[in-house]
């Protein structure tokens, strides 16, 4: 199983942590200098490493969790200025070594061959990526903070509620 997955990220910038008031990258309160820095940081190798960790190194104790069996590589992160969003392209494949280092399960507890492939549907793969990103950033905090005047903005890509605009979306398997 080798799949190339593409999806978009539309990060929010949290202005007030208590109220969770957020602004988008197109907001007028952002100077072009701050916006350029955010874009530069988000397409950086550091961000690729963060996303890799979020997607592929999540800890799970569930043998039916696809995260137990997949690994991958972040191929690219590109910015689309017309939509103020980022396109992430990654390659997903079965992990070469099972159990993965982050797993608490023993090899004998894991699914085998065909059962893993049955679990690796496109729908399950997309849901796993979304959930892992959301869980990672909900649990570990924001990717980066920016000072704008007296305010601190927190770059956020979590989905805090069903009312949130699609922060992580437009998935396709290519």
Task: For residue 74, give Cα distances in angstroms to 23, 71, 119, 161.
Answer: 27, 10, 22, 26
CA-to-CA distance for 77 and 88, rounded, in angstroms? 5
pLDDT of residue 26: 84
Query: Which residues are bridge partners to 97 per DSSP?
Result: none
β-strand pairing of 2-9 with 144-148:
unpaired
Beta strands in 46-84, from DSSP E residues, in sequence order: 70-80
- Can you give the pLDDT at residue 129? 93
> CB under 8 Å to 166, separation ≥6 — which residues?
10
pLDDT tier for residue 99 given thresholds of 50, 70 and 90: confident
pLDDT single digits (tens) 37-74: 989 999 999 999 989 999 999 877 889 999 999 999 99
pLDDT of residue 109: 93
Reply yes or no on whether the pLDDT at 90 is more than 90: yes
More confident residue, 74 or 139: 74
Is residue 117 scored above 80 in pLDDT?
Answer: yes
Residue 6 confidence (pLDDT): 96
Structural domain boundaries in the chain: 2-173
Stated pTM of the model: 0.86
The predicted structure's pLDDT at residue 82: 92
pLDDT at 161 over 60: no
Please give the C-alpha separations between residue 107 and each of 27, 78, 97, 128, in angstroms, as whole numbers: 50, 38, 10, 21
Q: How far is CA 154 from the centre of its chain?
A: 16
Mean pLDDT of the chain: 86
pLDDT at 23 over 90: no
């Amino acid at each position: 199983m080798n799949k190339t997955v593409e999806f978009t990220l539309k990060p929010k910038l949290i202005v007030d942590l208590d109220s969770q008031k957020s602004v988008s990258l197109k907001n007028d309160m952002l100077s072009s200098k701050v916006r350029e820095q955010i874009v530069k940081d988000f397409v950086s190798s550091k961000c690729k490493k963060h996303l890799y960790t979020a997607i592929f190194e999540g800890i799970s104790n569930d043998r039916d969790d696809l995260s137990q069996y997949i690994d991958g590589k972040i191929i690219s992160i590109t910015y689309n200025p017309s939509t103020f969003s980022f396109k992430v392209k990654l390659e997903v494949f079965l992990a070469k070594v099972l159990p993965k280092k982050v797993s608490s399960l023993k090899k004998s507890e894991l699914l085998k061959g065909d059962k893993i492939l049955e679990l690796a549907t496109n729908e399950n793969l997309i849901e796993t990526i979304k959930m892992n990103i959301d869980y990672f950033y909900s649990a570990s905090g924001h990717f980066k903070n920016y000072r704008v005047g007296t305010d601190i903005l927190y770059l956020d890509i979590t989905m805090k509620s069903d009312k949130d605009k699609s922060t992580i979306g437009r998935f396709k398997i290519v």
